[in-house]
Chain A
Amino acid sequence: MGIEGIGARVTRKEDRRFITGKGRYVDDVKVYGATHAHFVRSPHAHARVKGIDTAAAEKMPGVVAVLTGREIVDDKVGNLICGWMIHSKDGSPMKMGAYPALAPEVVRYVGQAVAVVIAETKNQARDAAEAVVVTYEELPAVVNVKAAIAPGAPQLHPEAPGNIVYDWSLGDEAAVNDAFGKAANIVKLDLVNNRLAPNAMEPRAALAQYDAAEEHFTLYTTSQNPHVARLVLSAFYNIAPEHKLRVIAPDVGGGFGSKIFIYPEEMVALWAAKRVGRPVRWTGDRTEAFLTDANGRDHVSTAEMAFDKDNRILGLRVKTYANFGAYMSLFSSSVPTYLYATLLSGQYDIPAIYAEVLGVYTNTSPVDAYRGAGRPEASYLLERTMETAARQLKVDPGELRRKNFITQFPHQTPVIMAYDTGDFVASLDAAMKAIDYAGFAARKEKARKEGKLRGIGFSCYIEACGIAPSKAVGSLGAGVGLWESAEIRVNPVGTIEVLTGSHSHGQGHETTFCQLIADRLGVPIEQVSIVHGDTDKVQFGMGTYGSRSLAVGGSAIVKAMEKIEAKAKKIVAHQLEASEDDIVIENGEFKVAGTDKTMAFANVALAAYTAHNLPDGMEPGLKESAFYDPSNFTFPAGTYICEVEVDPGTGKTSFVNFVAADDFGRLVNPMIVEGQVHGGLTQGIGQALLEHAVYDDSGQLLTASFMDYAMPRADDVPSYDLHHTTTLCPGNPLGVKGCGEAGAIGASAAVINAITDAIGTNKLDMPATPDRVWHAIHAA
């Protein structure tokens, strides 16, 4: 592997700028003459906009313009789109209401923008926004999914009667009914998957410029996928043509899904920059993030699992109500459908599965992908059900899982996915050993004598990452392809620039991708630069989400590298008068195998550019590009086991131990992989114990600041004990599977299973706050 190659724990190249305060996030970018935007937002969850009086605001100091939905309509700016078409059971397309960037007539959630003030300074914009008088006629609001579909509920969009976006299903209902008919035991569980605020630490931001001479726009924005942003802004929003728009996502301070989407604020900044003829800057504050960033999860589900007399699973039936909020965000429709129900087989051989999902509008902020996106909901539902089943059937939770594991690969599940490889027994064994499962009973007894309730919980998750291939996702309704691009530019001196269409907002691409180059071409990582996040530099790419960067983006780099290597070998063979087949790369040099004839990589590069002595017909230069479209998803999987102690007097949960055994295939940089798992686990634990975006019945968000929304802090979580088992992914040249979401997918079920084990009830929903746990203890 070499000291910098695949498998090495290389410290990150990008760190130096971050630890010295030289990171460059959108709000750090300075441009001459920038104005500042501040949005006027609805205080009501549902209201008719009767009028907007901007006269007073326009006279305030420093105000450049006050713009409303009227101007958006006048300028024919498009409504926000949802890019994944889902069809209901009856074959009808999903039903959506219009989602305007500034609401001209009706507001449907608290915080929805109705106007924007653009002024010379941030404070002037903020002051003037206070002077914009919006007259509302309040309408009744509904925030709860079941209330929203009840007869007589307030209606959000005339296009979606009953507030139903779609009534979708997957699987074979008749086969499942048959399985339940034959069942020796049936386990049933009602579950709530709590609504979460993504809370990347850097709030969303935009800085838009319009160059009238070139009729060209530039947008700096906090995006996980700048090319997708450019495509959508051009093709659908009618703001700027694609060849006249440069989107730059510089350093981005975390995303977790929330920065995939194109939001009203970024659109408005870009549109307004041309309209006012000045650069426009908007940087959201934290409360705006709580009010307007697409939230995650928010499912209400019922799961039923049928077992035969030997405790083998016969079938699974799931009914889920998914809250979409007031508008359909960019990829929202796919989350509770193809990213959720397709994972309901988990690690288990389940002959029949039937899932129904009702997508519902409510007067809350839009809901879309958040770390894991659908897969955490599936994993939580399944793993809570398995643990509950073990208790009901009076068998060991590890053994029940082991008995039902898929052990033969490839395995076709009844819900689309075809698992390519895995070893679920290996990860279960590794986790059970690490947590000393055999010694748990004694530890529990000891804790009992000390007045504490000790519990242990399993979670055997599987996820589908690197969502693909494009043809398959297209057939399921996706509006985009999900390949990735790479371009490798070898400079005449032998240094290398790698352009990737994926985007790093903390994942460490600048290091990991360099390691791929170092491993194959032997070029030191200091001589390699990774270029990403700028549509003027990288031709196209799909960005980073769904743990796809290495499996898809890295594979594209490998494909481009193969072309570089092939051409370089031709040059070397020609110059050293050897056969191309005899050229090997060793220690950064090209060598004729079995001889002492060598040519340094830098000399090959120089030869390619001087072009003095190239094979006949060869073009000069050494630059190659590739598009890589995967043949299948990848399937990271593993087991998490959590041991907790609950104080029966307070209901407070403390961690005794948390072990993870993950199979991510090949690890390129284990240090970075571990960091991804730590972060994911903490988000999963945050969901399980702390986090909850709460609306009151009138649609007011009660958790709109870090004072009210409980983020995991350093003393809320333990240190983690991580282990890896490995089956190489056969579907890509690196054998990698992706590691970005696993922790968030698997952790929450392990925590709740441990707490419910400790307190002796299966009735507990997330977040398991001390209050809820105390009440669950006393209700049990």
Chain B
Amino acid sequence: MTTINLTVNGKAVSVDVEDRTLLVHLLRDHLNLTGTHVGCDTSQCGACVVHVDGRAVKSCTMLVGEADGTSVTTIEGLAQGDQLHPMQAAFRDNHGLQCGFCTPGMIMSAIDIVKRHGGKLDEATVRHELEGNICRCTGYHNIVKSVLDAAGRMNLANAAE
């Protein structure tokens, strides 16, 4: 067992877990943050993507020891009260989700994509960048639309700041 100290969605937490515990299981099983999902065993599907120190990370591929001392944001930590993150709102407005299982990971990855590419996103770039997130429902059409829409909203928000 090991004690892991980290910040999750802005709150400091300390958890005793087995050394072999993955970050995703710490979030789901110990902190009850079940919005982060497990869709595969090979780091392919991206349903488990969270932000670790501001970068998109597949939490099924990070041992808790590696997350010690970091600041983690999960899908539950995006909205400010009733105020959705622009990416969340864009997914809803563009019907970018169906069953919702891949959605948290998609949204977390997509925010990272927009941050890295700023206002220079186009469809081809979004599609290429989403390669690490698998969706079986939407055929990606509306996910791509959502990300491009959100990129506009996020850039506007940044410009306004």
Considering only residues 342-396 of chain A, those with a C-beta below 8 Å from chain B are none
In Å, the complex CA distance between A346 and B33 comes to 49
Instruction: Answer whether A719 and B100 are a contact pair too, CB < 8 Å, given A20-B76, A706-B40, A714-B127.
Output: no
- Residue of B41, B138, B143 with most partner-chain A CB within 10 A: B41
Which segment of B62-70, B128-136, B152-160 sits at the interface? B128-136
A223 to chain B, nearest CB (A): 13
B114 within 8 A of A: no
Which segment of A489-497, A601-609, A671-679 sits at the interface? A671-679
Instruction: Answer whether A253 and B100 are a contact pair too, CB < 8 Å, given A15-B91, A20-B88, A672-B95.
Output: yes
B-contact bits for A672-702, CB 8 A (1 contact / 0 none): 1011001111110000000000000000000
B8 within 8 A of A: no
Closest to A505 in B: B99
In Å, the complex CA distance between A13 and B40 comes to 28
Residues of B within 8 A of A251 (CB): 99-100
B-contact bits for A705-716, CB 8 A (1 contact / 0 none): 111000111110
B interface, size bucket: 35 or more
A35 to chain B, nearest CB (A): 14
CB-based contact A678/B41 at 8 Å: no
In Å, the complex CA distance between A707 and B40 comes to 10
Q: A675-B98, A705-B44, A714-B131 given; name 5 further pairs at CB < 8 Å.
A: A21-B75, A22-B76, A287-B41, A683-B136, A714-B144
CB-based contact A18/B127 at 8 Å: no
A-contact bits for B137-148, CB 8 A (1 contact / 0 none): 111111110000
In Å, the complex CA distance between A253 and B76 comes to 18
CB-based contact A682/B139 at 8 Å: yes
Which residues of A are interface residues toward B (Cβ below 8 A)? 11-12, 14-25, 27-28, 30, 123, 199-203, 251-254, 256, 285-287, 505-508, 671-672, 674-675, 678-683, 705-707, 711-715, 717, 719-720, 743
B23 within 8 A of A: no
In Å, the complex CA distance between A717 and B135 comes to 12
Residues of B within 8 A of A680 (CB): 139
What 7 A-B pairs have minimum CB-CB distances, sorted nearest first? A21-B35, A253-B101, A18-B100, A506-B99, A682-B139, A21-B75, A706-B44
In Å, the complex CA distance between A17 and B38 comes to 18
- Residue of B34, B100, B131, B142 with most partner-chain A CB within 10 A: B100
CB-based contact B142/A200 at 8 Å: no
Q: Which of B93, B104, B131 contacts A21 (CB 8 A)?
A: B104
B47 within 8 A of A: yes
A-contact bits for B21-57, CB 8 A (1 contact / 0 none): 0000000100011111111111011010000000000
In Å, the complex CA distance between A72 and B124 comes to 53
Residues of B within 8 A of A30 (CB): 32
- Residue of B37, B44, B104, B136 with most partner-chain A CB within 10 A: B136
B16 within 8 A of A: no
B118 to chain A, nearest CB (A): 20
Instruction: Answer whether A27 and B142 are a contact pair too, CB < 8 Å, given A15-B97, A706-B42, A707-B44.
Output: no
Closest to A675 in B: B95
CB-based contact B136/A679 at 8 Å: yes
B102 within 8 A of A: yes
B143 to chain A, nearest CB (A): 7
Residues of A within 8 A of B116 (CB): none
In Å, the complex CA distance between A543 and B76 comes to 31
Closest to A25 in B: B101
In Å, the complex CA distance between A707 and B44 comes to 7
Instruction: Answer whether A201 and B136 are a contact pair too, CB < 8 Å, given A20-B76, A21-B36, A706-B42.
Output: yes
Considering only residues 65-97 of chain B, those with a C-beta below 8 Å from chain A are 74-76, 78-79, 84, 88, 91-93, 95, 97
Residues of B within 8 A of A714 (CB): 126-128, 130-131, 133, 135, 140, 143-144
Instruction: Answer whether A23 and B84 are a contact pair too, CB < 8 Å, given A506-B137, A707-B42, A717-B139.
Output: no
Residues of A within 8 A of B76 (CB): 20-22
Instruction: Answer whether A201 and B141 are a contact pair too, CB < 8 Å, given A21-B34, A714-B126.
Output: no
CB-based contact A705/B138 at 8 Å: no
A165 to chain B, nearest CB (A): 29
B144 to chain A, nearest CB (A): 7
In Å, the complex CA distance between A24 and B100 comes to 10
B33 to chain A, nearest CB (A): 7
In Å, the complex CA distance between A402 and B143 comes to 36
CB-based contact B74/A21 at 8 Å: yes
Residues of A within 8 A of B34 (CB): 21, 24-25, 27-28
Closest to B130 in A: A714
Residues of B within 8 A of A254 (CB): 98-99, 101, 136-137
In Å, the complex CA distance between A404 and B103 comes to 44
A-B contact pairs, 17 of them (CB 8 A): A11-B95, A19-B84, A19-B103, A20-B76, A23-B35, A24-B34, A201-B137, A203-B38, A251-B100, A506-B137, A671-B95, A675-B142, A678-B139, A706-B45, A713-B130, A713-B140, A717-B141
Q: Which of A203, A256, A506, A707 contacts B100 (CB 8 A)?
A: A506
